[in-house]
Amino acid sequence: MFIFKKHLDRRTFLQGMGATVALPLLDAMRPALAAAAPRPVPRMACVYFPHGAVMDRWTAVGEGSHAAFGEILEPLTPFRDRVTIVSGIENTHAYGPVHAITPGTWLSGLPPHRQGEPEERLSRAGDWTTADQLAADHLGRETLLPSIEAAAEEPKEIGTGPWEGRYDKGFAATISFRAAAPREMSVSPRRLFDRLFARGAVSDARVAVGPRSRSSILDRVAAPAADLSRRLGVRDRATVREYLDDIRDVERRVDRAEAPMLAAPRSPLAEQAFTERLSLMFDLIALAFRADITRVASFMMAAETSAMTYSHLGVPDQFHPLSHHQNDPEKIDALVRIQRYHTSVFAGFVQTLAELPDGDGSLLDRSLILYGSNMSDSYRHDHYPLPLAVVGGGCGALCGGGHVRVEDRTPLSNLLLTLVRRAGVPAASLGDSTGECAGI
């Protein structure tokens, strides 16, 4: 679609056979946008890591804007004016069969649905829709995709021992639910890339053939891209060129990432593939936010009960067994290295958003990101106090910067309600929320 006037519509796409490439915000779009005088559009992301955190190495020292970040969160220090560490939150709904329900109860504010429970209870509970999907209902009305869901490691259902058969499936394998149905977390960079840019049979065919046989998505939109470029100003041409170069770079990395997907667990190849997927999925989310393909993303940085190793950090032990550290100082130090590494990769995503322009600000200024876990001390399998941080400017809706201590054992649903409201969602409540969290 092209608008042959003095300006472009914000929803202009480059379209080719089986490909649709949305564009970032350009100067040529601003006259059309200025006429309607819209407010900046928020993006919301929920980024989850499993197995909690070593809390005395996570929690900030002191309160307010001058609090010193803990060792695990230290990689986020350059963005401290856009980071709020929230202490004192509990999620009572995660207690029970430990890992089998921990991911799925993170964003709901409700207990997991038990098998055989009457549907009317589910309806009274708001159809068991998580915070990210509530945001998608509101923020996704004008975007190509209402939301995207991704994972860096294949999520799996977890045997629940004495709880076997008590809960519906899905609570270990996703953090996102809509009307009680689990949303699949895509672990394939190729499938997520094609969901953003390829359409229909072309996407299916690209998955079926090897990377060497594929043409680039950009080859399919080369002609409309050249046509558009001739009608843009110098700065917009540079923006489009740089944006398409970023897409091509990510697409090449996607092709390289496919080969080791089936590598044997605990092999160097599997570990290398995991670290590449971790950064690649963040880059795909950033691309989706930049082009306004979606405004809502959910991401699991590792699988619950992950067997991944981190030899590149000097930690050859599997992640989940190491989380049962039994208060062994050496194991705790190794676990902290993993948790700090996760934060450093997340900080790279934050840096990317900070560098990407969006109108008169950056994508980080527009973003509202929940970063954390639904477990506290992994040895005790506790769910209080949860390691949580809120990152971004939220289009001016977030206070930003510092350490906020809420009242002890404040429900997690209160924080979730605060965040969706800051994103502009007119939610009366969320799960068992009792109100908002002050200072966020």
**DSSP per residue, 157-200:** ----GGGTTTB-TTTTT-S-EETTEEPP-B--HHHHHHHHHB-H
Confidence of residue 67 (pLDDT cuts 50, 70, 90): very high
pLDDT at 37: 46
Confidence of residue 256 (pLDDT cuts 50, 70, 90): confident
pLDDT digits (tens, 9 = 90+) for 270-317: 899 999 999 999 999 999 999 999 999 999 999 999 999 999 999 999
- CA-nearest of 433, 426, 398 to 137 is 426
Counts for the chain of helices (H) and strands (E), in that order: 13, 13
Average pLDDT over residues 17-30: 89
Report how far Cα 11 is from the mean position of its chain's Cα atoms. 23
pLDDT at 188: 95
Average pLDDT over residues 254-269: 70
Confidence of residue 2 (pLDDT cuts 50, 70, 90): very low
Confidence of residue 151 (pLDDT cuts 50, 70, 90): very high
For the question of whether the overall pTM of this predicted structure is more than 0.85, the answer is yes
Instruction: Pick the more confident residue, 98 or 23.
Output: 23
pLDDT at 297: 98
Least confident residue range of 38-42, 330-334, 432-436? 38-42
Confidence of residue 3 (pLDDT cuts 50, 70, 90): very low
Confidence of residue 321 (pLDDT cuts 50, 70, 90): very high
Q: Which residues contact 8 (CB under 8 A, 6 or more apart)?
A: 2, 23, 26, 28, 29, 32
Instruction: Pick the more confident residue, 125 or 341.
Output: 341
pLDDT at 178: 93
Whether residue 382 is predicted with pLDDT greater than 90 in this model: the reply is yes
pLDDT at 146: 97
pLDDT digits (tens, 9 = 90+) for 405-430: 999 999 999 999 999 999 999 999 99
pLDDT at 359: 86
- CA-nearest of 417, 296, 301 to 47 is 301
pLDDT digits (tens, 9 = 90+) for 167-219: 777 899 999 999 889 999 999 999 999 999 997 645 555 544 455 446 799 99
Whether residue 261 is predicted with pLDDT greater than 60 in this model: the reply is no
pLDDT digits (tens, 9 = 90+) for 341-359: 999 999 999 999 999 999 8
pLDDT at 143: 95
Other Cβ atoms less than 10 A from the Cβ of 435: the count is: 12
**The dihedral of CA 260, 276, 199, 238: what is its sign?**
negative
Whether residue 163 is predicted with pLDDT greater than 70 in this model: the reply is no
pLDDT at 18: 87
Distance CA 434, CA 1 (A): 46
Instruction: Pick the more confident residue, 77 or 28.
Output: 77
Q: Is 250 helix (H, G, I), strand (E, B) or coil?
A: helix
Going along the chain from its start, the domains and CATH numbers come out as: 42-190+265-422 (3.40.720)
Average pLDDT over residues 119-144: 80
